[in-house]
Amino acid sequence: MATTEVEPRRVKYTWRDRLGHWDVKASPYLYIAPFFIVFGLTGLFPIIYTAVISFMDWDTIRNTGEYLGWDNFQFVLNDRQFWIALRNTFSIFLLSSVPQVIIATFIAAMLDHNLRARTFWRMGVLVPYVMMPVAVALIFSQLFADTYGLINHWLGYIGIGPIGWHVDVLSSHVAIASMVNFRWIGYNALILLAAMQAIPRELYEAAAIDGAGKARRFFSVTLPQIRPTAIFVIITSTIGGLQIFDEPRMFDTTGTGGADKQWLTITMYMYNTGWGQLNFGRAAAIAWLLFLIILAFGLLNFWLTRKLISSDQSGSK
Amino acid sequence: MSFTRRKKSLALTAGAAIFAMTIAGCSSSDDETEEPTSSATGGTTEEAGSGEPVTLTLATFNTPGYNSVEQPNADYEYDLIQEYMDLNPNVTITYDRKAESGDARTNFFTKLGPGGLADVEMIEVDWMPEVMQYSDLLEDLTSADTEGRWLESKVADATDADGRLIGAGTDVGPEAICYRASLFEEAGLPSAPDEVASLLDGDWANFFEVGQEYADATGKAFFDSTSGIWQGMIGQINPAFEDADTGEIIATENADVKAAYDQLTAAAADQSTGYQQWTEDWNAGMSNGDYATMLCPPWMLGVIEGNVGDAADDWNIANVFPNGGGNWGGSWLTVPSNGANVDEAKKLALWLTAPEQQAKAFANAGTYPSQPAAYEDPAVADATNAFFNDAPIGTLFADRAEAVPAAPFKGEFYFQVNTAITDALTRVDTDVNDAAASWDQAVSDIEALG
């Protein structure tokens, strides 16, 4: 029916042919469509919405706003708390992510050996990850209490005076970073372990025959071989580290980052502005600034990691 | 092998997507079913109750004492929810209780505009100033029957500029002083409740004088935390942070605020623990004798008892409060205007906050009534607390409630300003800053608000 009039040059397709053709062409998109529809609703829309209200004095309850231009951004960039939060975020990020990746790589290398009860050890490192962050925070708040905490108690035995975990800036960051590390080291170790398992054993044999010792084999074979996975681990822990929220928020009972904002992070600053002060326009501006910071830092990190790990092994991939 | 795995993961993704859609579908169909109910009840409410069946939702937090769902182990004597349903057979109540006030606050402000709140929502004194900005979205609960039902300050806090009463008061937190008898004895101070009450009777200067005497005698802190004491002091300053007419922040120019700050920071040097409330150290210090006094609203008795157990059973309570009285905590029931069953919801809110019911709630969970008539009720008047040496808490807190001054004006910035100042106090208390530098910091923090 439909084939009668148009384009006589073409081979006549039946409805069935067309359907088949359409199936091949369109189906893949249909299969991935649910993800993008859900992402559009839950991801893209909020991102755009946030951008819009970041230029407004937004009242989320009445759903009305007054256009302010760049005022919100200007306020945030001139706010002392923003810069303190930025400092704290990077400090906690460095104190957590760097040791975390190094220790995770080390643990993964250890687990890569032929251990007895291998599965037990491998699953064991994942236990902290399964614990609820709130439960972790409860345990650590007992450990890091300033006067009656276990850690200050133990430090007392070796003559180190009580540390003001909730007073001193760096101490509070160390305490929070240890919480983060406790939770994420095992997880990252398992990912790195999986990458190490995939390294062909011949490479090690060849290196051993060439006379490479354990350390040399680790640095010259293992590390270059796990590079893509290491980049993944570093990028995800960068994003996670810059968005750190649960641990510092649970670090004291008010969750506002301490009396002198010693451990206020950017996400806490954003939360306090949004839900604490009900100033959602300004919180949206903070969200966008955080997004830009993460983007810039993620790219820098990606570039650095590629450089560092491949520097002495530029040939091998 | 790899093919089947891919298929499986595909199925999973598809499943997740379908699940997400189902959720979306559910919530939208919920809204649809709610519409007809509202129009149905709109017609029936004229015939005073016993009309068509209505389902009401009631949302609270912590332990208001309505129904033993709140604390399955506590074995409440009364079930107010069931009682109301028995009195009004057409009403079914769904009782939703959140664990914490903070969760309830987030939920309240998320749904206040778009809808989706319970028919009756409980709100707390801490977020009352913020709620008042949206008082037009809540029902006016003024009624001839409830004239004079509540303490004056309770009504004043929930009345907006147009004179609409948007909250039906449930409980209040009139403060007394809790102290540890053995520590008072150690310091050579009188330790019986009556003696302590007359010792501390006076203004804050007197309180800190006794504190200094205690600190000199024992070398230990007198009160639990600067932020705790500040809570009592600032509640008596009126106006405190904002001008009631213009809403302008006056905290940094208010001489009374600065004077209280100076008085407290001076006393804190010897008399404060340096702890913050609700921390591990504060909890442990309660048993370990690190401090001898704390400000004590009725709900704090349960906190102390639960915290110290047998470790420090000499905590006691004195019927006194420096410079008059003070209130700490308390809640209201509100009825959001966009609810489906506004009229039935109002009836429920007003019934639950009647003196008889609030007396039962007190018997259940120790939430002290904001209705003076309830203080005559035997359930309140005869109440004693075994842990605090059988202190007659019913009559004691009735005295303290009478002493509570008219609540100071709290505007939109009240809690942000207060946080800036309590942070300043904590900085001094933990030796981060000296008092003057810390105040300057607070001033610049406050000036950045708005």
The CATH number linked to A189 is: 1.10.3720.10
Query: What is the residue range of B127's domain?
Result: 46-173+330-380
Residue A4 lies in a domain: no
Residue A133 lies in a domain: yes
Q: What is the pLDDT of residue B310?
A: 83
Asked if B279 and A254 come within 8 Å (Cβ–Cβ), the reply is no
Residue B303 lies in a domain: yes
Note if the pTM is more than 0.95.
Answer: no
Q: Do residues A104 and A210 both lie within one domain?
A: yes
Q: Which residues of A touch B17 (CB under 8 A)?
A: 34-35, 37-38
Substitution target in B280, B428, B445, B449 with the highest count of A β-carbons within 10 Å is: B280
CA quadruple B244, B247, B253, B256: dihedral sign: positive
Could you state, in chain order, the average pLDDT of each consecutive group of 10 residues for chain B (450 residues)? 40 42 39 38 42 91 88 84 95 90 89 91 91 93 90 89 94 95 95 96 96 95 95 92 89 94 95 91 92 94 86 91 92 94 94 95 91 93 92 94 86 89 94 93 88
Q: Do residues A171 and A306 both lie within one domain?
A: yes
pLDDT confidence of A10, banded at 50, 70, 90?
A: low
Q: Do residues A47 and A97 both lie within one domain?
A: no
Q: Do residues B290 and B433 both lie within one domain?
A: yes
Q: Do residues B79 and B223 both lie within one domain?
A: no
Q: What is the pLDDT of residue B10?
A: 41
Q: What is the pLDDT of residue B21?
A: 38
For residue B126, the distance in angstroms to the closest alpha carbon of chain A comes to: 12
Asked if A259 and B114 come within 8 Å (Cβ–Cβ), the reply is no
**Tally of domains in chain A:** 2
Q: Do residues B75 and B215 both lie within one domain?
A: no
Q: What is the pLDDT of residue A311?
A: 55
Angstrom CA distances, B218 to A165, B114, B311, stand at 27, 58, 20
Q: Do residues A40 and A172 both lie within one domain?
A: no
Q: What is the pLDDT of residue B94?
A: 94
Query: What is the residue range of A43's domain?
Result: 15-53
d(CA A207, CA A198): 17
Q: What is the pLDDT of residue B8?
A: 41
For residue B426, the distance in angstroms to the closest alpha carbon of chain A comes to: 6
Q: What is the pLDDT of residue B152?
A: 87
The β-bridge relationship of strands A64-67 and B168-174 is unpaired
Which of B274, B287, B294 minimizes the C-alpha distance to B211? B294
Q: What residues of chain B have any CB closer than 8 angstroms to a CB in chain A?
A: 10, 13-14, 17, 20, 106, 109-110, 112-114, 130, 134, 137, 275-281, 284-285, 288, 290, 416, 419, 422-427, 430-433, 444-445, 448
CATH code for position B119: 3.40.190.10
Angstrom CA distances, A234 to A102, A228, A246, A249, stand at 10, 10, 20, 24
Residue B238 lies in a domain: yes
Q: Do residues A37 and A156 both lie within one domain?
A: no
Q: Do residues B211 and B246 both lie within one domain?
A: yes
**Is the model's pLDDT at A297 over the cut of 60?**
yes
Do B320 and B201 touch, CB atoms closer than 8 A?
yes
Asked if B109 and A278 come within 8 Å (Cβ–Cβ), the reply is yes
The 10s digit of each residue's pLDDT in A271-287 is 999 988 888 999 999 99
Which residue in A has a C-alpha nearest to residue B437's C-alpha?
A: A260
ipTM score: 0.80
Q: Do residues B303 and B353 both lie within one domain?
A: no
Q: What is the pLDDT of residue A192?
A: 95
Residue A1 lies in a domain: no
Q: What is the pLDDT of residue B312?
A: 83
Paired tokens of A122? 């491998």
d(CA A14, CA A20): 10
Which of B338, B362, B336 minimizes the C-alpha distance to B349? B336
d(CA B263, CA B435): 11
What phi and psi values does residue B98 have, to the nearest 5 degrees? -95, 155
The 10s digit of each residue's pLDDT in A254-265 is 888 999 999 999
For residue A166, the distance in angstroms to the closest alpha carbon of chain B comes to: 9
Residue B400 lies in a domain: no
Q: Do residues A49 and A106 both lie within one domain?
A: no
Q: Which residues of B touch A60 (CB under 8 A)?
A: 109-110, 113
d(CA A225, CA A316): 8
Residue A149 lies in a domain: yes
Residue B402 lies in a domain: no
Q: What is the pLDDT of residue B16?
A: 43
**Tally of domains in chain B:** 2
Q: Which of A35, A62, A252 sits opposite B276 (nearest CB)?
A: A252
Q: What is the pLDDT of residue A8?
A: 55
Q: Which residues of A touch B425 (CB under 8 A)?
A: 259
Paired tokens of B213? 């005497």
